[in-house]
Structure 1
């Protein structure tokens, strides 16, 4: 749990610790380097500024940059990358992990632009597409940009070891899976293929994130971005599948329920959020199509909601016993990891 000043003052009033000890603890906590993001104004400014800079070189890149030509784009990208690395080292030296990680991520995000410019300069760009389409369309020749981004991302992540550096790597892996599928199978039936590839790529990313989490001994959460984009890829591919079968839709509902359970078990909210959205989507389908003429359905759904609230009360009362029972079937390493993460 997060400890604040009011809680420490409450412990002083209960004579658990002295006032001097409370002040010493506060001073100690403030001296610790911040390796995890918080929802405060400083961190909001960090991420807002970082995403503006990264977005300018990626999602919001316009056609005006084409006037610089391939060589111009390449050298401008190198200049920006040098500035990004300089800032990364500067913030690292000052112990500012969050802005250092954001600046390192900016360098990784510049890699596909630099490779695009180099390909244009060498005259090996295969068609009339431009860089601004990189994040919006699927093409086989993005592969050089993606593989280069992964290589640079791994190098920088190994050097600086900030969790946010995993974000562009996770996104690029997702892009790479889509482009590889089109390269191998062609553009025919590409939409259906993309949905399937997205789903299985998401599962693979979730598995990698789980492995990273189990193996990591650092307090930094290196698996967060892998989990996030893995769940998005899996859930997005799963939810976009079309079927007229009510059984298939019910299976979709049970998978989303399973995601909620997994999220609670491994303490990952992203599973719970997307699982809940999927469950609500299925219930909406029932209300709009299957039981649209039934006056009993809203009443039944209300009773079900109240029952779920009751289950929540029972869970709160018996959470520790239920959690320990559920985790008893897991391997020792994983059980110890989850126990260490569990917040009372």
Structure 2
């Protein structure tokens, strides 16, 4: 039977396409070799990313975060019994083992658990750095004398641990290219911004307002880094580099910026209006580049401002509860309207982005 009489498969039918078949199609002239390369790179990139968040992923992350927490947030004082050099040997041993298992899992295509194990190794770097400093007697006096305080207290003495963690994370990301490993980078940048503020003000005591403003600036810088990473990932030719390495940077950058902005106090109505307008920009920015973290924080800020206006206008009024009810229902209606038109809104807003940022609006 000729090819013209062969019925075409239904579009809903599942087909299996591998690299040899793409090569055969290119040799037959159905597609060009360049198109075959691009298609395979795109499909391979899709295969690396999980299609949906399942209960298996919950188990992965729950177990992984428990292990990471045991070596960070929940570390007990009993570890000090090993001494600085004993803790160093334990942390290095744990780290080497975690990297070895991560490499093994990555080779089997289990990228999520591999990323979690590699992240555990990165999270052990500050512990190892603290052990070395303590063992050599180089830990600065006058501050925390236990590593357990690293995740609890703000202090400039942690800066060496944070910088070494960032350096190790960059090397590990270059080597293994697993997106979850960006999480400790984002957390460390968050710690770094508070400890830098403490270092700059330690002569005059802790300055909350200065720390808040430093958080705002660090948040903007982290978001800028996230945009740069996001653009490089979207324009990369290697499928391994087209994973979402920017997610955690966007998340913690938005948290630092928005909290620094929202905790600013002002009696000026104009500045409060400016705050609301910045949050409106965040809502539309998140919609334009498909990063909901900006939309969520922007929506919270706008809702807070509208609530402030409602409280001020209708203070001690019987109408206040009704206004709040209508306001809540209005946001629900807005959500329904937005959901029905989200694709068109995204496309319209994406058209407003500068040409250099247009890849952020794709997919």
Q: TM-score, normalised by structure 1?
A: 0.84
Question: Does the 8 A contact of 1:203 with 1:230 survive in 2?
Answer: yes
Q: Match for residue 56 of structure 2? A: 42
Question: Does the 8 A contact of 2:45 with 2:243 survive in 1?
Answer: no
Equivalent residue in structure 2 for 1:55, among 58, 65, 69: 69
Q: Aligned partners of 1:280 and 1:52: how far apart in 2?
A: 35
Q: Match for residue 22 of structure 1? A: 14
The 3-state SS of whatever aligns with 2:353 is: coil
Q: How has the CA–CA distance of structure 1 residues 24 and 104 changed in structure 2, closer, same or farther, with 3 Å as cutoff? A: same
Question: Does the 8 A contact of 1:37 with 1:43 survive in 2?
Answer: no
Q: Match for residue 210 of structure 1? A: 227
Question: Does the 8 A contact of 1:253 with 1:279 survive in 2?
Answer: yes
Equivalent residue in structure 2 for 1:276, among 291, 295, 299: 299
Please give the root-mean-square deviation of Cα atoms over the aligned residues, in Å: 2.8
Q: How has the CA–CA distance of structure 1 residues 238 and 36 changed in structure 2, closer, same or farther, with 3 Å as cutoff? A: farther
Q: Which runs of 5+ in 1 are unaligned?
A: 1-14
Q: Aligned partners of 1:18 and 1:324: how far apart in 2?
A: 26
Greater CA radius of gyration, 1 or 2? 2
Q: Aligned partners of 2:222 and 2:184: how far apart in 1?
A: 13
Paired positions, count: 323
Q: Aligned partners of 2:333 and 2:61: how far apart in 1?
A: 39
Q: How has the CA–CA distance of structure 1 residues 221 and 295 changed in structure 2, closer, same or farther, with 3 Å as cutoff? A: same
Q: Which runs of 5+ in 2 are unaligned?
A: 1-7, 18-39
Q: Aligned partners of 1:295 and 1:16: how far apart in 2?
A: 66
Q: TM-score, normalised by structure 2?
A: 0.80
Q: Aligned partners of 1:133 and 1:323: how far apart in 2?
A: 44
1:163 maps to 2:186: no
Moved more, 248-257 or 43-52: 248-257
Equivalent residue in structure 2 for 1:98, among 107, 112, 133: 112
Matches within 5 A, 1:1-344: 17=10, 21-22=13-14, 24=16, 33-36=47-50, 38-127=52-141, 128-186=144-202, 187-216=204-233, 217=236, 218-288=241-311, 290-303=313-326, 322-338=345-361, 340-341=362-363
